[in-house]
Structure 1
Amino acid sequence: MTRGLEPMLDPLPMQVLSAVLPHMPVLLRTGARTLGDVRRLPRAGITRRFDKSLLRALDQAYGLQPEAHLWVELPESFLTKLELPFRVEHAPELLVGARKMLLQMCGWLAARHAGITAFTLHWWHDSMRSKDAGTGGSLVVRTAVAMRDIDHLFRLLSEHLSKVTLLAPVGDLELAATEVHALHEVSASLLPDTVLERETVGMLQERLAARFGPEKVCRPIVGDDNRLEWICTWRSASEKRPRKPGPPSRYPAPSFVLAEPLRLSVRDGRPQYQGPLKLLAGPHAVEDGWWHRDEAKRESHVVVRDYWIAWSDHAGPLWIYQTRLESDSAWWLHGSFS
């Protein structure tokens, strides 16, 4: 169990865990009031008296089991309906409600990495209509290529509705994606294409620095320091770019680095993290920082470590190290791989 979680979670009211709520009356009669009280109940009794989800939720909250999140599964087809707040007598006025439905459809298309070449707008007449008007009508809008540009689709729908005459007031709308195709897109930048067409990223940084001040716009600089804590620094965007870092290490760098390394327990000479760790590759010796001293804190940042890639059955590949300067040669968790 992660020891750091116990003093923080045990005093909390037990109802903060949603899995406890269905069993609150029974747990209150047992005298339980906090998560610590529930955790101290016999595990076998919890399994017999309650369902397994309560015990699983407790273990996940205390770090004994990994959390398994359910993927959001989108429907295979798109169909949405909308009741208009007022009765519409002219077709162009349907655009007010239709735009909301188009936004939903474009969001669905973006999540599926798809575009559309045809969609259908249905409208339903108000119940107080003449018999000759019928129940409603529909309109199919097509595009030359698959797309999900909301502005272009809205303009196309507007052009088509301008030619439609409603036979009776409309109260409800329905939008369906008729022809959907996969899109193979390549994203080259996090910045909008319209910005990149007018100026480069460097020009944009300079303009923002001039507007908000040089200290407000920074960029990350990866140096040639072998210590993970100081390998990346933030510099003002207006500063001259430093020299390029040295050749990369032959060892992979972790995807995520802890702000503070976590000391690991050791059992039978093996480091532990939610169970024993298996050393896969290493050691990668790091000896650096002899020149780095914080005069304000009167401390040196010398690093003498042996890094290893370790495997955890619960957390996957981890980046751990063993100190070589301290007398106890402790093991520490420093990062993980995605």
Structure 2
Amino acid sequence: MHWIALQWSPESADPAEGAEAAALPTPEALGWWALRYTPHVVWIDEALMLEVSACERLWGGRLSLMRQLVHEQPAAGATLRGAPGATSLEALARLRLFARGEKRPRELPAGLPLDTLSAARAHLDLLARLGCRTWGEVAALPRGGFVRRFGTELRDALDVAWGLRPESHDWLTLPDVFEQRLELPALAETAPELMWSANRLLSALQIWLRARQRGARSLELQWTLDLKRLNGVNLPTHQQLTVRTAEPTQDMAHLRRLLSEKLALATLAAPASWIRLRTLETDPWAGASTSFLPEDNRKGDKLHEMVERLSARLGPQQVVVPEAQADHRPERTQSWRPALQANAKPAAPSGSKARKQPKPDASQQQQQQPDALYPAWLLPEPLLLEMDGERPCYRGPLGKLVGPQRIEAGWWGDKEEGGQPAMRDYYIAESPEAGLVWIFRERPSARFSASGEVRWYLQGFYA
């Protein structure tokens, strides 16, 4: 068997070092990262151990694999140390020597110092009085008396080191859903203070997404409150916020910005001591298509990323997009809805409230004019025009140029849904001062109106 022991410098995780240190993922996430190289990964004491005897040939040999591990390690700004060995105990012992700046002995594993063996650390003083300072000197002691004096753990470890006993480990596996908790280095009194620790969880999330070939669509960040009661008011045990994206993503920079905007608007009910990040929704990751054309490789944020960031900063109701409506009335051909909900599928109506939107009949289709005749600017609500005898007026008497375009709509709705029946004849008219305008005449009908009064309205303007 061939093993590789890996260890990251612990000082790189100091919060005082800033954003680079915050990129260090959690130990569990580092194990997920190593699973891309071998399915046999386990944490032993302070080191991440990789058993590579069955797969190192695929990476060009053990030395080539170790170079690749150092080059592709996910902990930005951290120092990665590695050491190989015939067994996990030998690789771990060589890693400890490397961390202390000592050279490996000529004979392995017999020449290894005894303090590099975890099972021997509880007996170092007694073994030193017996004159045993290396693995080989301890292994040479009589087996029967050795087991009675020091127990079976140390003897079993020496047997594993010499290959006399097989190794048994609980290998790491990749979970189906990402969920990790992290204790804060200090109590956080404001929501933005949670961001440093959240960066570590986001780094772990990126490793999980890449290993699972998934893209994040929805995340939940939850923090645990350190107080149960404040100023006589019972507090909840947790608070949380949700981050959603329009498209699946593995871009942690975008998720980090969204999370920062959300936390800037959040208020902690009490100081927080723990945080938890979990995925609510993920989609299969198809990767990104690239192009050699310069116009396809523009710098800057994508449109949906900018919309999501502005929605998080200003509020979802402040960033809206138009949505087409199945209605022939010009003022109701579109509605505005939050941009974050634009991709959501509307629920299908059911029961007695369900209504089918009618389609125009043949006569309506024949009377409809090309879209080019519609004005560029519509009023929010039609403006009732004054009359000069039988002629409508808007900054002077209007002269009809094109029309009529007949519309009959709105009979299927009710007042709660804004469904007001409309029977109109539209014209393009010319105003002496305003230029070309779009007006319509309400057609009297016994069904909808009891009076025979003819009213004209202004609907829009042309450029």
Q: TM-score, normalized by length of structure 1?
A: 0.40
Larger-gyration structure (1/2): 2
User: Greater strand percent: which structure?
Assistant: 1
